[in-house]
Structure 1
Amino acid sequence: MIPTSAPETTAALRELARHSHAVITEHQDPGGAYPAAPTFSAYRGYAWLRDGSFTAEGISRYGDVASAGRFHDWVDGVLGRRREQVDSLRAATARGETPPNEAMLPTRFTFDGADGSDPWWDFQTDGYGLWLWSVVTHAARHGVSLDRWRAGIDVAVDYLVTFWDRPCYDWWEEHVEHRHVSTLGAIYGGLVAIAPYTSVPVLEVAERIRALVEAEGVQDGHLTKWLGSSAVDGSLPSCVVPFGLVTPDSPTAAATLAKVARDLDVDGGVHRFTADVFYGGGQWILLSALLGWNLAAAGDTAGAWRHLRWIADQVTADGDLPEQVDHHLLHPDSRAEWIARWGSVASPLLWSHGMYLILADELGITAKDA
């Protein structure tokens, strides 16, 4: 899968994989958390389950069993300490009560596992499904027993089977009033992954998720941003690969990837959604890698390579990968307000580096190939 006609380019792509591993492991907290971005004002000091789980997958694929294991150890400890909170939430639900969003588990944690001290759009369930998928995939790849993370797994499973269908914020911490298809896909993927290793009937919930999305989350043959919408989102390819909410060889998968590419892909860089005003609505490194990953899985190797090369072209002067780039802003007039609020775009973003490692591995580009 590695092109032989451009050895210099291939060497540079391998070097970016090596650098990506170095960036991630250099900034990993001693306790195991992967910070979202070590210098960005709004992300510094926090770790997300969503970002970290994808980053851990890239690190696991790269062969660093210890670093990925420390991340999963950290999540296991954080969730294990939330046992009482989840039991209380489930008991309230059993009594017919609806716990407020503020009482639910957060989407991001401080490195010591606490809630954040500043306001955030915290109620998001996708990260809990994503972590289940990530830890099961890592354990299977490297022959590690899931018993090591059993306490956290049990908490995540109990939380998801109770609250999977509740509206919450999406991957981008927006629209708490909706049920988002990418969130449902992440939960589905996590429950299916953990099904062989739990006595909880998670596959029953997974099938309910699939039926719900088929009924309300498909428009003109493609998956939609949220139930009842007609728009797409750059996160939707995750519902195909890796989460399998729709099978890669299905017409829905093909239509979804085609619609995302048509509406959001410009020259290999992928936008989040057409109405995105965050930093002007740039192209996101991690979404380009996600679409490339899906293309590689679908057999479109040339398309996957297009995205890998585009990502490599976005490195900063320090060789790092940012969160997004501003070549094709969707709403350029909104960029200045975000710079004034939070400073320059986050760089390095560990999730960007982790997703590059995933796509690079999918295409055979690793330091081990040198």
Structure 2
Amino acid sequence: MARLVAVCRDGEEEFPFERRQIPLYIDDTLTMVMEFPDNVLNLDGHQNNGAQLKQFIQRHSMLKQQDLSIAMMVTSREVLSALSQLVPCVGCRRSVERLFSQLVESGNPALEPLTVGPKGVLSVTRSCMTDAKKLYTLFYVHGSKLNDMIDAIPKSKKNKRCQLHSLDTHKPKPLGGCWMDVWELMSQECRDEVVLIDSSCLLETLETYLRKHRFCTDCKNKVLRAYNILIGELDCSKEKGYCAALYEGLRCCPHERHIHVCCETDFIAHLLGRAEPEFAGGRRERHAKTIDIAQEEVLTCLGIHLYERLHRIWQKLRAEEQTWQMLFYLGVDALRKSFEVRTVGHFNVQDCLKFWD
């Protein structure tokens, strides 16, 4: 599984992406760095078919360096043609096309050992190209996963879209383990960024919540006062019934209009637990006659906002991981076919020369 290892604070253009790292766009204010671990693609230590490997090494050694380099080049048209034939989900196809274009423009080593040139030519690194065993493993161990990977993606019978690109996927669902799954895949920097809540975004969530549950005017005003206390715009000492303990673990930055939420996993779990009834469905009239109850409602909205953010990150992460895998395996498959066509043609010429000799 890919991990979220950093935050692009100054834009994607300035971030020094390393191998198998790509930007993961979350929203207009947040882009993270997604990294595929080295064990996703281990080119050493595999048990290979001895006879096939021997034949492959023989073919590999017969090619001159120039011929090998040509054999290890495929155009974007070849890759995208295979994409249109093999992948039924229009969302997947668009995502792969977008990622490929992104790599052509950036030149980042996101698919290493595959490389993408500025003209859209796909190839492999020099170290992989010249090592017959690694190339064999890439083509016939990892490359064999393409069809299985595509077939394993659940698809809608109605429109052929996969679950990750289904229109229903974006609706918040009841709380489950997915928030914890994505939480554990984040570096500390990413976690800190996720729990940095924009005050205006929280207010939008709060106002939606107030409308949904038909709060009366007095109760609505109480909840908004509790919100204004949280963001530092009202003095809590002048508010009768205010409970400071309820806002423990939360810190506001009035000038930055941010709310810092405690990053401890147990605290996050407790906060999200407050939001759970919201995702279970149902609308009911609610009241907040006292400021401490109003604070509870604000905390519920904070939990809703945080859960929706984590849910969105989880969706984006899974979708982009699928996109990366699809592009990678399509690229490997196209390179394998190019190599096979080139070597078969080369051997046919060699056989003719031997015959005439």
Q: Normalising to structure 2: TM-score of the pair?
A: 0.22
Q: In proportion to residue count, which structure has more strand? A: 2
Which structure carries more helix by proportion?
Answer: 2
Q: Which has the larger radius of gyration?
A: 2
TM-score normalised by length of structure 1 = 0.21
